[in-house]
Structure 1
């Protein structure tokens, strides 16, 4: 039985939490298929992760006791819901939303003027992620602070695996959605049209989506969007602060931003891992994994695999990004990737356009996020604005 195995590693040990990327790299080389009491089986090699992503029959996405639409579903149910979800991330939808997203980012950057130093995660990354998510969903500005606090509580409860707290937090989110659902149903086509009102008109299996399904869709979007976008903004900002030549190059050549962001996030992933469960006994990397066992796909290690990416810890703008697993692969590739890519490009462009320099603060190093998060918990940076003298010390 799996619970009698000796663990190969401890994902929450002090050594791992001190530098998650280095620990994941070390596991990929030392023990690429590793067992732990916390995660079950962790896969660190790109080849093994891709194998799982391309075999949903053997590696199921139904890993939660709660309804998770559509990423916590398997075919054919997954495809039926996925077709509904993908409509919200169509190119014309992203194009229409981009000006509002850009305005949010630019306003936030302007609000930072006059600050000698700032903490980028709390002052920009998290507020940006929350505000653009509310704007995308059509939620009022009054939801900004409740949603920010909700995301924070959700992260703390998930880290602690506090099941009662997680249940309370899920119930809190359901209350937010239900409070917005009924007025839209009552108003019908005459009322305010947004993502929630649109979801009330969608059909699945010949019937309208029910409340539980709509809440699940919105919760998955919100949890993934806020935490991952904020983490990604922090990762990119810190990298640019440490690499001033690239920072200046992107100011003068903004068309390079999409490729630069993808490459930075390949090296320093904003999302650590994702889950699956086996439907039959399999062998991976010489180790036998029984049916019904948990699998953890380690994105960070897979995207830094030297067998796939030449000199994987070096930044290369000309790198072929087709093997990058930043947004996954296979039938469960992230449906919100077009939105995430646009938001990240807009956020980084706003930071570059609104400043003349982004620099580290030598006396205040960043603190890393801890499992299950990636990126930074705090990120002190110095932003120099046009006509503002530089007073920081590197």
Structure 2
């Protein structure tokens, strides 16, 4: 490693985990590129993060030997597999899925208790994420609870960096997908005509996709979706509860919900970070980083950079959309962003339409989620 790390910090220290957003705000102000054993080099400022995202030749996405389609690839592999990925997130497919998504939202909101403090995470958010994902992919309803349990185990193992547990959890998830692919192959022409079945006919470089590639692509869609969508639902609900003026604004004009969601998630990130690895020696924010070093892009910090957003906690709908990095940027922007935006817009529309008030009980405080998750672990709210 060339040079001395700008600072040493512990991303898993209690004071950081208790309030990741505040910790990153403080760190960004005194050290825009920080070093830790857990995250290696963490990039916190908006302009430095944009530089990383806009230079995939220097900051590679191929951070692991494990096949990760398409996000863990560089060109030309990324280009070919992203072509397949993006066929499943077109405006036409999103429009087709919207009625099913809306029905799921309506059922979940209608089932939530009224008039009493209820933890919205298990009661709503953690039900919505796997249910809507299963519906999009055509997966069976009885997979919903195993996916919820899997997501919780994966979060704990990742925070602890328990490598054996992480490996076992990965194998478990791949087993879910292999079983789903096997069922469809065995059914032949009788297989359900869902997106998972359609994937079986995809070809890359004029050859069929391998099972490893199919499993990896579906894993990438699902793992990211389960954790970030449930976190996003909690973040959006919390903001509406503690900001009644914004809640009323969106009740009065639901056409603002999509832009409002992006702004709220800018302030409080559902996905904390992503990794890159340097391909050459490079200077980032005045810190020299050698080739082969791990770099962590901290979305939760960059999207609150005062030099770009002023007061990062000020809710504004007139910001430049391109400054908001909640769905990434450039070649490796979130592959499922169209679906995520649809799901969250429809959820908030139904959440507001099927309630008259969302409030925050002062007697019971929420608890924040720990890295790698964002948002809240518990979120007591009162719905009316």
TM interval, shorter chain, is over 0.9
Mean Cα deviation higher: 166-175 or 181-190: 181-190
* CA distance in 2: counterparts of 1:286 and 1:182, whole angstroms: 52
What's 2:334 paired with? 334
What's 1:20 paired with? 20
In the TM superposition, what are the counterparts of 1:137-148 in structure 2 within 5 Å? Answer: 137-148=137-148
In the TM superposition, what are the counterparts of 1:41-60 in structure 2 within 5 Å? Answer: 41-60=41-60
Would the aligned equivalents of 2:267 and 2:304 in 1 still touch at CA under 8 Å?
yes
- 1:7 Cα offset (Å): 4.9
- 1:310 Cα offset (Å): 3.0
Tell me if 1:136 matches 2:141. no
Tell me if 1:269 matches 2:269. yes
In the TM superposition, what are the counterparts of 1:242-257 in structure 2 within 5 Å? Answer: 242-257=242-257
What's 1:388 paired with? none
* CA distance in 1: counterparts of 2:62 and 2:158, whole angstroms: 18
Would the aligned equivalents of 2:6 and 2:34 in 1 still touch at CA under 8 Å?
no
Would the aligned equivalents of 1:49 and 1:297 in 2 still touch at CA under 8 Å?
yes
In the TM superposition, what are the counterparts of 1:366-377 in structure 2 within 5 Å? Answer: 366-377=366-377
* CA distance in 1: counterparts of 2:311 and 2:182, whole angstroms: 54
- 1:183 Cα offset (Å): 2.5
- 1:312 Cα offset (Å): 2.4
* CA distance in 2: counterparts of 1:112 and 1:283, whole angstroms: 51
TM-score normalised by L of structure 2: 0.97
What's 1:166 paired with? 166
Mean Cα deviation higher: 185-194 or 275-284: 185-194
- 1:87 Cα offset (Å): 0.5
* CA distance in 1: counterparts of 2:167 and 2:2, whole angstroms: 27
Counterparts in 2 of 1:7 and 1:28: CA distance versus 1, 3 Å:
closer
In the TM superposition, what are the counterparts of 1:42-191 in structure 2 within 5 Å? Answer: 42-114=42-114, 116-191=116-191
* CA distance in 1: counterparts of 2:379 and 2:183, whole angstroms: 40
Mean Cα deviation higher: 255-264 or 164-173: 164-173
- Unaligned 5+ segments in structure 1 are 385-394
- 1:145 Cα offset (Å): 0.7
Name which structure has the greater RCO, CA cutoff 8 Å, separation 6+: 2
TM-score normalised by L of structure 1: 0.95
Counterparts in 2 of 1:243 and 1:4: CA distance versus 1, 3 Å:
closer
What's 2:34 paired with? 34
**Root-mean-square deviation (CA), in Å?**
1.5
- 1:195 Cα offset (Å): 1.7
Would the aligned equivalents of 1:7 and 1:37 in 2 still touch at CA under 8 Å?
no
- 1:320 Cα offset (Å): 1.9
What's 2:324 paired with? 324
- 1:4 Cα offset (Å): 8.3
* CA distance in 2: counterparts of 1:176 and 1:312, whole angstroms: 40
* CA distance in 1: counterparts of 2:252 and 2:185, whole angstroms: 48
Q: How many residue pairs were aligned?
A: 384
In the TM superposition, what are the counterparts of 1:192-207 in structure 2 within 5 Å? Answer: 192-207=192-207
* CA distance in 2: counterparts of 1:242 and 1:278, whole angstroms: 41
- 1:311 Cα offset (Å): 2.7
